[in-house]
Structure 1
Amino acid sequence: MDLDLTRIAEAPSLIDPVFLTTPQFVDEQLCAALGRRVLVKIETLNPLRSFKGRGADLLAREFEPGTRLVCGSTGNFGQAIGYAAARHGLSAEVFVPAGISPVKLTRMASYGVRVHEAGDGRAKEAAREYAAAHEGSVFVEDGRHPRISEGAGTIGVELLAAGEIDTVVLPVGDGALITGVARWIKEHAPRTRIVGVCAKGAVSMINSWRAGRVMPTGRADTFAEGIAVSSPVPESVNRMRPLVDDMVVVDDAAMLAAMRTALATLGVLPEPAGAAGLAAIAVHDLPGEVLATVVTGANTTPAAMAAAS
């Protein structure tokens, strides 16, 4: 296991405080709507509207000023890399697929990111090629670098401060969140179960977790672009195998319903991927008396916002 517990413990002293100690609480209206006792953690009240800043900020500290960070992203990771690059004297080039959320494009540009549109399914490949061809550039990939997962692991540190949790339910995109959180929780609360959530139209991660090797699929078919993974990162799959107890899927309708539930009970409108944990609790009979989940992002597209309102 390449995720280091000491580095996770030290991370809160290094990561930009704007991303840390996010609200986590039990909301009685949410519990009534879900029919379960749920601790919810809100990771949307920061400059990025997502949890991604924790890992990106920790990673950016590894590079010399002037380094160009290059990545492929559907938006939230690209924002995080742009924010962290600006904070640490770096620059950022982000390759995106066509048709991503205009909200995310605008926010990336606001952090000084140079955005490049790549062909369908080629964002990461194009980013790798660009980094290899340009001196001073480094390709960074969400889910691959240990520092990204270790930064996300600080969410696990904060969750356990709330007390005993039977099951933690987390959306799974490239896997940095669930592996970082699970690494900490499995060490300090080994009886707590870790359950990952994938979109029904993007099952490559759940298939890979079950098989113990990367199982690519065709193009993802889901409006939850934050978890629309079709070719998993091998390092992430390897970490998930010993850390994750179960994986479930939710369809777009369940995520849309969860977005509406969050808005009605919490006053927060997640993006579809950000509501995947809530959706899983609503539709699956997950074990435990006390469950926890994370609202991971709120960069909602205008279309999804209109549908949820």
Structure 2
Amino acid sequence: MIELECFKAARARIKNIVVKTELSFAPRLSELSGYNIFLKKENLQKTGAYKLRGAFNRIAKLSDEQRSLGVISASAGNHAQGVAYSAKHFGIKAIIVMPEATPLLKVLATKSLGAEVILAGENYDEAYKHAKELAKSQNLEYIHPFSDDDVIIGQGTIALEMIEEESLDYVLVPVGGGGLISGISSAYKSISPNTKIIGVVAAGASAMYHSFKNKKVCNSKSVKTIADGIAVRDVNKKNLDIILEYVDDIVIVDDEEIANAVLFLLEKQKLVVEGAGAVGVAAILHNKLNIKKGKNIGIVLSGGNIDVTMLNLIIEKGLIKSYRKMQFRTILIDKPGSLQRLTDILCKVGANIIKVDYNRISTTLDYGDAIISMALETKGIEHQNEIRSKLAQAGYNIDEFY
């Protein structure tokens, strides 16, 4: 077990840099789930994620000689910004290797903090390999995003803050490489050993889930998930050993469930949270936990650095899945009044037209016909069924698309 004094020392070390984020009661999520839910809002951290804690603690402990050579790391984005911010604070060189598919938001944010960004590899593990090669060839200090004692201890300062504010029965923590849950579980078991720590992984990056269940390293062949912050292919044995000792369980959520949680947090909690940060809420919303109702549950919202394009996609898909948006196409006779006849029907049933596309030159059409495509704002499944019924009664054969 990492000594409690190490976490206290780290907290003092990062005190003037890191924001003590809110742990606040979530009334709507609590009412919906039957638990007392408290959200630890690390999405409101200075760099938009908890990673600043571990990165700063690690770099703060380097010698002057080590700092003079510069630092390097591999990251999908949040650790990158933590390292870049910390390096800028100490006035030292920082190189960050990111996977080629890293969202532009995270790339630009890292560059804005003064770090040099190199895009390499299809995922974190390939970027890590390239970064280690550069560290060796350029004699740079490598700052590991999760398999490093000082990084783990820095992340564990979250637990100290949570323990001071609320007495929690369970804490849900996102899991990728395992640095966050290693720190939080170690600190919690030192102070509040009866609190159960549950990890949450994405189905598209489930190596740690299978490793935990099988009690041995089980790497994945590939990763694919909207939760890019926890998209780790290979399991690090150091972190797995800590997790096996202090973590009580790990559950799994898929991308649809994660997207639903992101949208829920945006709509109901007014919080912008990235996919990785929303997995704990996804586990609650989709009943992944076998926990007695009425328990106090803390959920770590690990970050809020979501790409705007991804957020837009999640919103659009969420509106369709919740029957608040409907899209269809149908064929009209291409003559004056045809479109008005269709829109009159939609007006009478209270459907708001938000997009129209009129095409009369498609090679699939008969002469004199036109394809009309429409997107409607609707009020739920009953409203959509009414729209379908009225259009069918009027003789329209609609083809819905998503």
Task: Assess same fold via TM > 0.5.
Answer: yes
Q: Which amino acid aligns with 2:136?
A: A
Amino acid at match of 2:208: M
Partner of 2:337: none
Q: Give the number of the structure whose alpha-carbon radius of gyration is greater.
A: 2
Amino acid at match of 2:109: R
Q: Does 1:297 align with 2:303?
A: yes
The one-letter code matched in structure 1 to 2:215 is G
**Is 1:133 the counterpart of 2:132 in the alignment?**
no
> Which position in structure 1 is the counterpart of 2:52?
53
Q: Please list, as runs of the form range in 1=range in 2, the aligned pairs for 1:144-293 lying within 5 A after superposition.
A: 144-283=147-286, 284-288=288-292, 289-293=295-299
CA contact (8 A) 1:18 1:46 kept: no
Letter in 2 for 1:203: S
Q: CA deviation at 1:208?
A: 1.7
The residue number in structure 1 matching 2:16 is: 17
Distance 1:93 1:281 in 2: 38
Question: Which residue type is aligned with residue 266 of structure 2?
Answer: L
Answer yes or no: is the 8 Å Cα contact 2:43–2:272 preserved in 1.
no
The 1-side partners of 2:14 and 2:28 are apart by 33
Bigger Cα displacement from structure 2, 196-205 vs 117-126: 117-126
Distance apart, 1:251 and its partner CA: 0.5
- Give the counterpart letter for 1:252 in structure 2: D
Map Cα deviations across residues 41-100 of structure 1 (whole Å, 9 max, x no partner).
Answer: 101223310011111110011222323111111111111111111112322111111111
Measured after TM superposition, the shift of residue 152 of structure 1 is 1.0
Q: Write the deviation string for residues 268-298 of structure 1: whole angstroms up to 9, x where unpaired.
A: 1100001011111222134251111111111
Q: Describe the SS at the equivalent of 1:153.
A: helix
Counting aligned pairs with the same residue, the percent is: 28
Match of 1:72 in 2: 74
Q: Over residues 87-132 of structure 1, what are the superposed CA-to-partner deviations in whole Å (9 max), with x where a residue is unaligned?
A: 1232211111111110000100011111111122410000000000
- Do 2:10 and 2:154's aligned partners in 1 also have CA atoms closer than 8 Å? yes
Q: Distance in 2 between matches of 1:172 and 1:181?
A: 11
Match of 2:145 in 1: 142
Query: Aligned partners of 2:68, 2:120: CA distance in 1, in Å?
Result: 25
Deviates more, 1:228-237 or 1:248-257: 228-237
Q: Distance in 2 between matches of 1:234 and 1:69?
A: 24
Q: TM-score, normalised by structure 1?
A: 0.95
Q: Distance in 1 between matches of 2:45 and 2:298?
A: 20
Matched position secondary structure for 2:119? strand
Comparing 208-217 and 258-267, the one that deviates more? 208-217
Q: Is the 8 A contact 2:99 2:119 kept in 1?
A: yes
Q: Distance in 2 between matches of 1:185 and 1:152?
A: 12
What is the alpha-carbon distance in structure 2 between the residues aligned to residue 8 and residue 197 of structure 1? 23
| CA distance in 2: counterparts of 1:168 and 1:69, whole angstroms | 33
Amino acid at match of 1:82: A
**RMSD of the alignment, in Å?**
1.4
2:10 is equivalent to residue 6 of structure 1: no
User: CA offset at residue 18 of structure 1?
Assistant: 4.3
Letter in 2 for 1:116: I
Q: Unaligned 5+ residue runs, structure 1?
A: none
Q: Distance in 2 between matches of 1:218 and 1:17?
A: 41
CA offset at residue 233 of structure 1?
A: 1.8
Separation in 2, partners of 1:5, 1:16? 17
> Aligned AA for 2:90?
H
Count of aligned pairs between the two proteins:
307
Structure 1: 4+ residue segments shifted above 3 A: none
Higher RCO, Cα 8 Å, sep 6+: 1
